[in-house]
Amino acid sequence: MSAVYARRRTRHASAAAAVVLACTATLLTSSPAQAAPPAPVSAATARTYLGELTVKAEGSSDGYSRDKFPHWSTQSGACNTREVVLERDGTNVQQDSSCAAVSGTWKSPYDGGTWTAASDVDIDHVVPLSEAWKSGASSWTTAQRQGFANDLTRPQLIAVTDNVNQAKGDKDPAEWLPPTTSYHCYYARMWVDVKHHYKLNVNSEEKSALSSILNGC
């Protein structure tokens, strides 16, 4: 074999190896994500939507159970809704063969916290399941509640710091808002967008808080 031919074979082998490595990296690592749920309606539209919501005293939590809102549903292959949101809202997220996020970076818009372990991140239901139950979802079918609890189309699911999500619990915007005040307008737009789509009620205190926020957007 000539020296020139040997060098050519070495270059071709190196190039092929580089392509294989690049393809492998693409399979294991997602592209930088949008780090946000689907964008909500504008503040102007949210104000219109808010005016269209039925104002009604909050219903009873009698009969409520998270089990009545089945989640997390399988979305594709081994991936359930939680893993889809973790991949969507994170940056450079790597998943194992069961779709579990094994590495990545997540920045919580609620408080600005940055995390590199998926265990430090919760997937928040912007309109909490219990809140939905007391606002009209108690009359839904289980299939309807499952769709609500796994909705990836509207701004209803978002990856956030776990203890911030736990502090929120099932509170509405009259009772709790994200610690990052600059996010309040966006949060109110998400909340109203979801409630309007699902024709959920608002109570008077909730509507007043949302109106105040949206008027300042």
Q: pLDDT digits over 84-139, tens only? A: 999 999 999 999 999 999 999 999 999 999 999 999 999 999 999 999 999 999 99
pLDDT at residue 1 tops 60: no
Over pLDDT 70: what percentage of the chain?
A: 84
pLDDT tens digits for range 148-198: 999 999 999 999 999 999 999 999 999 999 999 999 999 999 999 999 999
Q: Name which residue leads in pLDDT, 4 or 133.
A: 133
Closest by CA to 203, choosing from 174, 168, 170, is 174
Phi, psi (deg, nearest 5) at residue 131: -60, -45
pLDDT at residue 51 tops 50: yes
CA distance 186 to 134: 23
Is residue 120 packed enough to be buried (19+ CB in 10 Å), middle (13-18) or exposed (0-12)?
A: middle
pLDDT value of residue 37: 85
Residue 59 neighbours by CB under 8 Å, 6+ apart: 133, 134, 135, 136, 138, 201
User: How many residues in total does the chain contain?
Assistant: 217
pLDDT value of residue 34: 44
pLDDT at residue 19 tops 90: no
pLDDT value of residue 9: 41
Would you state the structure tokens that stand for residue 83, as one six-digit string?
A: 């893993």
Phi, psi (deg, nearest 5) at residue 80: -100, 180
pLDDT value of residue 35: 55
pLDDT value of residue 36: 73
C-alpha dist (Å) from residue 55 to 73, 116, 175, 187, 211:
31, 41, 17, 20, 13
Q: If you search the block for the tokens 């780090």, which residue do you land on?
A: 35
User: 46 near 40, Cβ under 8 Å?
Assistant: yes
Whether the link from the prior residue into 106 is cis, omega within 30° of 0, is no
pLDDT value of residue 12: 39
Mean pLDDT of 60-64: 96
Mean pLDDT of 65-85: 97
Run of H or E including 114: strand 114-115
User: 169 near 176, Cβ under 8 Å?
Assistant: yes
pTM here?
0.84
pLDDT value of residue 115: 98
pLDDT at residue 27 tops 80: no
CA distance 149 to 143: 10
Mean pLDDT of 27-31: 38
pLDDT value of residue 26: 33
